[in-house]
Every structure is written in C-alpha cells, then in structure tokens.
C-alpha cells in the first residue's frame, strides 16, 4: 500500500515564525500536493508538484512556498505564520505527470493540525 | 469540474449493505466518477473510480447509471470503521491541474 507520511500530527507555532511541514511518500509518485482543509470551505489546493524542482500554484498559494528537492519529499513552508493559517494541512501524492494520468487516485497522509497563536 | 449532489447524511446498521447515491446531471463524456472517504481525524482515502462500467474493488462497488447522470457507491457489509464522510467527485480526463475538489459529501453513520 502507498504510504504518505507527514512529519507531525499536531503543531503549535507563534505568529511570525517560519514553519516547515514535511511530507514523504514511498511509492515513487511523480505528483505531490499540499492542501488545507477548513470547516465549511472543504479542501483547497495550496501548491502541487509534478516533478523534482517543479512546482505549480494552486488556489491559495499566498503566504506559502514549497520545496521539492527529492522525488519522495515535498515540503510546505509558511514564511511568516499568521493566525489565519491555523488549519488542517494535508499532503497527497499520485502517479502521472501534468494532464496525463489525472485519473490516478490521490493518496493522502493523516494530516497536520497546525495552530498559530 | 461538474457539480455533484449527495445527501448530507445517511444511517446504516452494522453488517448491512449501504447504498450511497450521487447525482451528476451535468457530467461530460470525459469525466470520471471518483469516490473518496474521510474518517474522523484522518486524511481522505481513495475508495473507487469509474467511467461507464460498474467497478468493483476490495473496498466497495461503484454502480454507474446508463446515462451516467448518477452513480451509487455500494458498501456490501458496513462496519463501524466505515463511518466517515463520503465524497463523490468528477474529474476530467485532461484536467491539467490534477487537483481534487470536495463538496459537502455524505456523512455515513453506522449503528452497532
């Protein structure tokens, strides 16, 4: 089975801190995604990557950046954390590149519940 | 992506079959029907997907209407572990963004 591992289940940080969320997948998937999930707003895509060192903005990239130095690892960075970034953050991966293989299922980690105080 | 409509909630008894409906009347010819579920305090989990024919896997079955305007996710014997929010979504074959967009989903409650 595909395993997507997020580094922390719960994280508490202070306003203004730089925050790193790490995600590792073990199935050699090309695509990796970062979402946030908030009550009433559903799942929103922050960034995705379809290859090493490649990244594309999702719907809500402001205040975030990402890094993909190795195929199996996709990091989300909150440059200067703010209280409106308190949320559940979900990492996912899938096979396929860009528009090809878009019907490959996405496999999610268990999420990181981040609180910014 | 085209819109889907699901009931807000459903109840089932343990070890009985569950049929979760989804309406997608504006589905296009290149849209696949995907189902995910999300257990409490966990990330979403892929369940099944299909295009036109009915599909079976170890988790569930997907029955797709002949006109493709609706589909039904079938859990053959519900267990307490199946209590989750179930999301039906449509994904275009050539969606370059490759992202998932979840609607409200159906909250399934399983009674012992």
Q: Does A11 touch chain B (CB under 8 A)?
A: no
Question: What pLDDT does residue A51 have?
Answer: 87
Question: Between chains, do B32 and A96 touch, taking CB under 8 Å as contact?
Answer: no
In chain B, residues with a C-beta closer than 8 Å to the C-beta of A103 are 32, 34, 49, 91, 93
Both tokens of B56, joined, read 């079976």
* Whether the Cβ atoms of residue A41 and residue A90 lie closer than 8 Å to each other: no
Q: Does A51 touch chain B (CB under 8 A)?
A: no
Question: Between chains, do A99 and B99 touch, taking CB under 8 Å as contact?
Answer: no
Where is pLDDT greater, at A44 or B62?
B62
In chain A, residues with a C-beta closer than 8 Å to the C-beta of B98 are 31, 33, 48, 50, 94, 96, 98-99, 102
What is the torsional sign of CA B38, B44, B45, B51?
A: positive
Q: How far apart are CA A35 and CA A111, in angstroms?
A: 9
Q: Is the pLDDT of residue B100 over 90?
A: no
**Local structure of residue B52 (DSSP, 8 states):** S
Question: Between chains, do A48 and B93 touch, taking CB under 8 Å as contact?
Answer: no
pLDDT tens for each residue of B12-29? 999 999 999 999 999 988
Average per-residue pLDDT for chain B = 90
Mean pLDDT per 10-residue section of chain A, whose length is 117 residues: 88 97 94 91 88 90 96 97 97 71 80 96
Considering only residues 65 to 104 of chain A, which have any Cβ-Cβ distance to chain B shorter than 8 Å?
90, 92, 94, 96, 98-99, 102-103
Q: Is the pLDDT of residue B99 over 80?
A: no
In chain A, residues with a C-beta closer than 8 Å to the C-beta of B91 are 102-103
């Amino acid at each position: 089975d595909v395993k997507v591992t997020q580094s922390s289940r719960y994280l508490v940080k202070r306003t203004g801190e730089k925050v790193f969320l790490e995600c590792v997948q073990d199935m050699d998937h090309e695509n990796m995604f970062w979402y946030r999930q908030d009550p009433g707003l559903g799942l929103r895509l922050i960034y995705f990557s379809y290859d090493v060192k490649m990244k594309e903005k999702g719907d809500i990239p402001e205040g975030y950046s990402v890094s993909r130095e190795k195929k199996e690892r996709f990091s989300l960075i909150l440059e200067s954390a703010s209280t409106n970034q308190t949320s559940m953050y979900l990492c996912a991966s899938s096979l396929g590149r860009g528009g090809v293989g878009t019907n490959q299922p996405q496999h999610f980690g268990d999420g990181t519940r981040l609180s910014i105080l | 992506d085209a819109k889907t409509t699901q009931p807000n909630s459903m109840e089932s008894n343990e070890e009985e079959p569950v049929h979760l409906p989804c309406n997608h009347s504006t589905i296009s010819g290149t849209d696949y029907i995907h189902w995910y579920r999300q257990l409490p305090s966990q990330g979403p989990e892929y369940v099944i997907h299909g295009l036109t024919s009915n599909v079976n896997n170890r988790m569930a079955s997907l029955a797709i209407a002949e006109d493709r305007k609706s589909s039904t996710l079938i859990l053959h014997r519900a267990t307490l572990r199946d209590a989750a929010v179930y999301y039906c979504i449509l994904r275009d074959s050539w969606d370059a963004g490759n992202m998932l967009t979840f609607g409200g989903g159906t909250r399934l409650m399983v009674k012992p």
